[in-house]
């Protein structure tokens, strides 16, 4: 089966073409203009998606034997995300589904991040525990089967990606903060400063990152920007370590309690080199198997949407042309 994937939930316009499990194309156009504003400007995001979507679809079919008429289904993100941004991809997908008379498959973006793992690891099987860490979500999910989820832990405030992005803004590093902190932290001392590892009363499996953000804000006010810039590598390394430490402790404690030996990482923050390293090392010690997507499938991309769409289409879970965008869509409703 050939699936066309469309992703436009935030600031990446992405189109992918999937032939069963094989990615034929995965084009991601990142909107760099948001850098200037230190975060995504929703109105600009929608306009950029509108400007680019057709061009990217055209590019997708360049140089290959497959034509638009050959596809078996159109998988598109319908939530969660920015309303205007989602609408661009969804309306485009509806138009295409209608004119080509092909099935439209609405995909949950969070489920897409989890399913991204199957693009690289065909041997991955259910069940497993997934740490989903993106710009909008931080959850530990028990994935019993495709579409069968149980949330075991979650952030009660900021997502892990936000903890990276907000800190980077505070220390004048730029946007998006995750990759910049990751790079800067590579030669830094993880023990340089002791950032808080928040625990929530009576909720041992949940996490909170808002105190961490406040603590780097205080540190920069107290010591001043010059001091931060002089110790940038070490500040980044010790801040990043606090995030990873909390995530790692929760995931492995829950996995041990549940007797699950298969750990899967997903979402933009799963691109973090130190997170991948720490999770790999602990998994080795625990005799657990660890899986994470290749870098291009961690951050937002349409291949993961097409991969999820394939599973839905196999199960005949097709959407109506009236499907609406749902900005606050959750993994389990």
Identify any residues that bridge with 25 across adjacent strands, giving them in sequence order.
17
96 or 270: whose CB is closer to ligand KG4? 270
Give the range of 12-20, 70-78, 127-135, 241-249 binding Zn ion by CB under 5 A. Answer: 127-135
290 with 279: CB under 8 angstroms?
A: yes
Name the site residues for ligand KG4 (rule: CB under 6 A): 10, 113, 134-136, 161, 164-165, 176-179, 182, 267-269, 271-272, 299-300
Letters for 283-302 (x = contact with Zn ion by CB under 5 A, - = none) are -----------------x--
Stated as kind and residue range, the H or E segment containing 27 is strand 22-30
Interface with Zn ion: number of residues (CB under 5 A): 2
Report residue 3: phi and psi, to 5°. -120, 135
Letters for 11-50 (x = contact with Zn ion by CB under 5 A, - = none) are ----------------------------------------
42 or 211: whose CB is closer to Zn ion? 42
Going from the C-alpha of 323 to that of each of 57, 196, 312, the distances in angstroms are: 22, 43, 15
277, with CB counted inside 10 A (0-12, 13-18, 19+), is exposed
| Residue 132 beta carbon to ligand KG4: minimum distance, rounded to whole angstroms | 9
Residue 48 contact, options ligand KG4, Zn ion, none, Cβ 5-8 Å cut-off depending on partner type: none
74 with 102: CB under 8 angstroms?
A: yes
Q: Which of 286, 248, 279, 81 is nearest to 160 (CA)?
A: 248
Please give the distance of CA 198 from its chain centroid, rounded to a whole number: 23
Asked if 208 interacts with Zn ion (CB under 5 A), we say no
111 or 300: whose CB is closer to Zn ion? 300
């Amino acid at each position: 089966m050939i699936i066309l994937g469309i992703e436009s939930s935030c600031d990446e316009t992405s189109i992918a073409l999937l032939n069963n499990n094989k990615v034929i194309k995965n084009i991601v156009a990142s909107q760099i203009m948001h850098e200037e504003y230190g975060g995504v400007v929703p109105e600009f995001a929608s306009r950029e998606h509108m400007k680019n979507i057709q061009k990217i679809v055209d590019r997708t079919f360049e140089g290959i034997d497959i034509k638009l008429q050959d596809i078996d289904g159109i998988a598109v993100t319908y939530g969660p995300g920015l309303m205007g941004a989602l609408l661009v991809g969804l309306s485009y997908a509806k138009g295409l589904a209608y004119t080509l008379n092909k099935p439209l498959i609405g995909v949950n973006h969070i489920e897409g991040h989890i399913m991204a793992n199957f693009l690289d690891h065909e041997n991955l099987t259910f069940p497993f525990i997934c740490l989903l860490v993106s710009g909008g979500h931080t959850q530990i999910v028990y994935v019993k089967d495709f579409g069968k989820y149980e949330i075991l832990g979650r952030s009660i405030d900021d997502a892990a990606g936000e903890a990276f992005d907000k800190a980077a803004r505070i220390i004048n590093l730029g946007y998006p903060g995750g990759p910049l902190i990751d790079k800067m932290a590579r030669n830094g001392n993880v023990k340089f400063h002791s950032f808080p590892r928040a625990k929530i009363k009576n909720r041992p499996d949940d996490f909170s990152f808002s105190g961490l953000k406040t603590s780097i804000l205080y540190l920069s006010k107290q010591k001043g920007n010059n001091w931060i810039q002089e110790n940038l590598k070490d500040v980044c390394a010790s801040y990043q370590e606090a995030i990873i430490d909390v995530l790692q402790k929760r995931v492995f404690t829950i996995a041990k309690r549940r007797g699950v030996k298969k750990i899967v990482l997903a979402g933009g923050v799963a691109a973090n080199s130190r997170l991948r390293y720490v999770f790999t090392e602990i998994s080795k010690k625990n005799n657990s198997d660890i899986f994470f997507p290749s870098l291009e499938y961690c951050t937002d991309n349409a291949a993961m949407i097409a991969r999820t769409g394939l599973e839905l289409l196999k199960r005949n879970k097709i959407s109506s042309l009236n499907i609406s965008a749902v900005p606050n869509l959750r993994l389990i409703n």
